[in-house]
Structure 1
Amino acid sequence: MKLNRTFGILLASTAFFGLANSAFALDGNEVLAKINAALEMSQAKLAAASVEVDGDNVTLTGATLTVSSAPQPLSLGDISLEEVAEDEGSYDIGKVTFQDLNVDKDGTKVTASDIYMTNMHVPATPDLSTVSNMLLAETFHVGPFSVAANGKEVFSASETNANYSIDDDETKVDFDMAITGLKADLSTVPDPKSQEAIKALGLETVAGEITMKGDWTMADGKMTISEYAFDFNDIGRIDLNMSLSGYTPALIKSMQEAVKTAEQNPDKAAGQQALGMSMMGLMAQLSYNGASIRFDDAGITAKVLDYAGKQQGVDGKQFAQSIKGMLPMMLGQLNMPDLQTQIVSAANAFLDDPKSLTVSAEPAQPLPFPQIMGAGMGNPADLVKTLNVKVTAND
C-alpha cells in the first residue's frame, strides 16, 4: 500500500512539473510581437517565415525587416535569440545573432560576419518615458566587413562595436562606437583628374578608424557628442563635438508622429511639405549649447600645398606664402574684423607649421534655435559674437 501511495505521489509530481513547464514555456511569437511593438515607433516591422523555440532560445527563420522609408523589405536570413527570459511582460535577451551577410548584385559584393547584439531589453509597453520602456541592446558588433566591385575589394573594416550603458536611475544613457581597421582603395576612381590628385597625395589606399562618444540625459533632453573622430593614417584626424538641449522623449515622439503622418499622406509632395513645416516648429524646442571642429594634421597639408603649388609652378612653401598674402583681402568681404583677425592669425600659424586647426562656437549660455536663426538672417556679425566663434591653430 505504501509503495502504491509513493508511486502515486511521484506520478502526481511529474505531472505537476510537466504542466508547470508547459505553462512557463517561451512563446516565440509573443517575443516577436513584443519586438514589433517596440519597432513600430520607428516605423519598422520584423517578420519571420517561422518561429521555433528550444528551451530559452528562439530562432526566427527567414527573417525580413520592413522599414517605411525603404522601397522593399531587407532580408536578414535566420536570427537566433539566446537566453530569452520573460519579466512581467518584458523580455531580456542575452544574445541576438544574425546570419552572415553575403550579397552579390550587379558586380558589387557586400559581405559581413560575426554580427550580434548582447543584453537586449524588449519592453512590455514600449514608449519613450523611461529607458526601461525602450528597445535597447548594450552592445552591437559586426566583424569583418567588405565591399568589392568587379572582384576587387574597394572598402573594408575589421570590426565595428557600439555600446550603450544606462545609469542606475535610468535617466541617462552613455554611448560609444568604434569602426576599426578601415581601408579604402581609391586607385579605382575612374575620373583621370581625381586619379592624378590621388596619386600625387599618396591616397591610393586610405586606412584608419572612426570613433564616437556621447551621452543623453532624458529629463532636459541634453544630447552631448563629446567625440566624433575620423582618424586616417598619414592624413590627419578630424574631431567634431557638439551639445544641444531639449531633445526630450516628448520631442522625439512628436518627430516620429510627424514622419508617420507625412508617410501616410497619399499626396507625397504635400506630405513632405507638411513634414518640413512640422520639423521647423519642433526644432524651436531645441537649444544650442556649443560645438567645435578640430583638425590634427598627420602629413596631408604639406602634400596638398606641394600639389597645389606645382599647378602654379611653385613649391609648397611658396604656395603657402601666397595664400597668406591673399587671405586678408579675401576675408575683407565678411566685414567681421575680429573674426577676420582670428582666421588670418590661425591660418598663418598653421601654414608655417601644420599641426592643428580648431573652430569653436561656445556661447556663454544655451541659445534657443529660433534665436540663432533670427540672428543669422538679421545680422550675421552679431551672431558670430553671440555664438562666441573662435578660430585657433596649433593649440
Structure 2
Amino acid sequence: MSLHHSTRILLAGAALCGLSAQAFALDGADLLKKINASYAAGGAAITADTIEVNGEDVVLKGVKFGMAKEAETPLKLDELTLQGVTEEDGGAYYIERVDFPEVNVTEEKSTFSVSDLYLAGIYVPGSEKAEGINSLMFYEEAHSGPVKVTVDGKPVFSMGEATGTMSLSDDEKTISFEGSATGVNADLSTVEDPKSKEAIEALGLKTLDGNLNMSGSWEVETGTIDVEDYSIDFANVGKLSMSFGISGYTLDLVKQMQEQARTMQAQPENQQAQQAAGLAMLGLVQQLSLIDAKIRFEDAGITKRGLDYAGKSQGTDGAQMGQMVKGMVPLLLAQAKLGALQNEVSTAVNTYIDNPKALTIVAAPANPVAFPMIMGAAMGAPETIPALIGVKVTAND
C-alpha cells in the first residue's frame, strides 16, 4: 500500500470519526430542558447562562435555582458539572454524579455552611408522557457533609453527615429508599428567654446529640408505601420510632397533588384560590387507605426529668407528679370517648410512669381502611376508631 493511499484512508477515517462524534454528541440544552420538565412538578426551575459539552460531561455556567412562578431570589452558582452523562432509551438521560460547591451564607448575625454535597446515579425521564417508573426523576445516592449554623459567632446547630439512597427492584416496580443523618447536635444554651432557659436546664436539654434514620419502599403501580422505620434518637432523651403503611399513593395521585400545589404557588395572595386548592388537596388525600401504623418511644431519662420539673412547678416532687398524671389520664380519656381502649391506655400509662422504659401505640386493622372512614369516625363517633383501625397501646414491651 502506498503512503499516499494510506494517508487518504487515515484522513477519511478521521473525518468519519468527527462526523460520528457530532452525530452522537450530548445535547446539553435538551438535558437541562428535561431536568426542568421533571422539576416543574414541584414549581422549581434551573437556568444556565451557557451550556458546554465536554465528552460525557455537561457544564452549566451561570446557574440559577429558583421557583418557576415566584419572585424569590434564586440560588446562584458560577458553574455546575454533570459528570458521566449518557443518553438512554426513549430520550432519557443518566448522570453518574453532580458535585455541588460548598455553601457559605451569612445573613445579619447568622451563618450557614455545608460542604461535600453531591448526587449520584441520577435518572432523568425522556418524556413528560412517559409512564410508570420511567416518568420519575430519581437518584441512587444523595450526600451532605458537615453542616454548621452559628448565631453571633456561637454554634447553635451542626450535623456530621447525611446520606440518602434509592434503588430499583429487578422487575422495576418498586423503589426502595434509605436515609440517615449522624452527628446531629443542637445547642440550646444560648436561649435567652428566662422561662424557656429554666425548662431547658431542668430537662437537661442544653445540648441535643443524636441521629436520624429512615427506610422503606414504594410500589409505584399499586401505590403502596411501606415506611419500615422513621426514627429520631437523642442521647439522654430517648428514641422516637414510627412506621406505617398506606395504599393508594399512585403516580396519578402524585401528579394531581403536584398540580394543586402549583395552583397554590401561582396565586399565593388569592385566598379563594388557596381555599379551593386546599379543599381539592383534601379530596385527593381521601384516595389513601391506612394499612398499619406504629409509634414507639423508648425513654432515656427525659420522662423522670419531665416529671421532676412539672412537680417542682406545682410545689411537689416527681413521684407525686407521676401519681397526679396517673389520676388525670382516666378523666381525660373519658372525655375523648375511646370506649374499651380507655382501660388499656390507663394501664399502659400507669406501667410506664412507674418504670419509664417504652410506650407503644399500634394500629393494625384487619383490612386497609380508607382515610375518609377514619376522618368520619373521628368527627362523628370517635369511640369507634380503636376498633376501626385496630388500636393497641402497651408499655415496657
- Normalised to the residue count of structure 1, the TM-score between the two structures is 0.95
SS in structure 2 at match of 1:137: coil
Q: Which residue of 2 aligns with 1:292?
A: 294
Q: What whole-Å deviation, never above 9, does each CA across 1:90-120 have from its counterpart, x for those lacking one?
A: 1111101111111101211110000000011
- Post-superposition CA distance 1:201-224 (Å, at most 9, x none): 221111001111111111221112
Which residue of 2 is the match for residue 136 of structure 1?
Answer: 138
Cα distance in 2 for partners of 1:382, 1:142 equals 45
In 1, Cα distance between the equivalents of 2:377 and 2:256? 26
Deviation at 1:266, TM superposition (A): 8.7
Structure 2 CA distance for aligned equivalents of residues 42 and 24 of structure 1: 32
Specify the code of the residue in structure 1 equivalent to 2:230.
Answer: Y
Are the structure 2 counterparts of residues 300 and 58 from structure 1 closer, same or farther at C-alpha, using a change threshold of 3 Å?
same
Choose from 183, 192, 217 the match for 2:194.
192
Give 1:156-167 correspondences, 5 Å limit: 156-167=158-169
Mapped partners of 1:264, 1:113: distance in 2: 33
How large is the RMSD of aligned CA atoms in angstroms? 1.8
2:82 paired residue number: 81
Query: Counterpart amino acid of 1:154?
Result: V
Judging changes above 3 Å, is the alpha-carbon distance between structure 1 residues 10 and 316 closer, same or farther for their aligned structure 2 residues? same
What is aligned with 1:393? 395
Choose the corresponding residue for 1:277, options 276, 279, 282. 279
Q: What corresponds to 1:40 in structure 2?
A: 40
C-alpha deviation, 1:2, in angstroms: 2.1
Moved more, 294-303 or 11-20: 11-20
TM-score, L = length of structure 2: 0.94
Contact map agreement 1:76 1:98 (CA 8 A) in 2: no
* Post-superposition offset of 1:6: 1.4
Residue equivalent to 2:374: 372
Q: Which amino acid aligns with 2:24?
A: F
1:287 and 1:337 map into 2 onto residues whose CA distance is: 23
- 1:214-225 to structure 2, matched below 5 A, reads 214-225=216-227
Give 1:194 deviation, angstroms.
0.8
Structure 1 stretch 179-188 or stretch 194-203: which is displaced more?
194-203
The whole-number CA distance in structure 1 between the counterparts of 2:21 and 2:213 is: 46
Q: Distance in 2 between matches of 1:334 and 1:133?
A: 45
> Do the aligned partners of residues 127 and 354 (structure 1) sit closer, same or farther apart at CA in structure 2, a change above 3 Å counting?
farther
Identical pairs, percent? 42
Q: Which secondary structure state, in structure 1, belongs to the residue aligned with residue 191 of structure 2?
A: coil
Counterpart of 1:21 in structure 2 is: 21
Shift of 1:122: 1.1
1:263–1:271 Cα contact (<8 Å) kept: no
From 112, 126, 129, the counterpart of 1:110: 112
Of 199, 209, 214, 1:212 maps to 214
Helix, strand or coil for the counterpart of 2:316?
A: coil
**What is the identity, as a one-letter code, of the residue corresponding to 1:159?**
E
Matches within 5 A, 1:228-267: 228-264=230-266
* Distance in 1 between residues matched to 2:268 and 2:330, nearest whole Å: 54
**Among 110, 119, 122, the residue aligned to 1:120:** 122
Q: Which amino acid aligns with 1:80?
A: T
Aligned-partner residue type, residue 3 of structure 1:
L
Post-superposition shift, 1:380? 0.7
Matching residue of 1:31: 31
Task: Quickly say closer, same or farther: Cα 1:325–1:126, change in 2 above 3 A.
Answer: same
CA distance in 1, matches of 2:313, 2:121: 56
Query: Which region of structure 1 is more displaced relative to structure 2, 315-324 or 192-201?
Result: 315-324
Structure 2 unaligned regions, length at least 5: none
Q: Which residue of 2 aligns with 1:148?
A: 150
Aligned pairs, number: 395
Q: Which residue of 1 aligns with 2:51?
A: 51
Residue 163 of structure 1 aligns to which amino acid in structure 2?
Answer: T
CA distance in 2, matches of 1:7, 1:68: 55
The CA deviation string for residues 114-161 of structure 1, in whole angstroms up to 9 with x for no partner, is 000001111111357222231111010010011111111101100010
**Distance (whole Å) between structure 2 residues aligned to residue 227 and residue 264 of structure 1:** 35
Note closer, same or farther for the CA distance 1:325–1:260 as it changes in structure 2 (3 Å cut). closer
Do the aligned partners of 2:183 and 2:210 also contact (CA within 8 Å) in 1?
A: yes
Further displaced range: 240-249 or 321-330: 321-330
- Corresponding residue number in structure 2 for 1:327: 329
Amino acid at match of 1:75: L
Shift of 1:81: 0.8
Shift of the 306–128 alpha-carbon distance from structure 1 to 2, 3 Å rule, reads farther
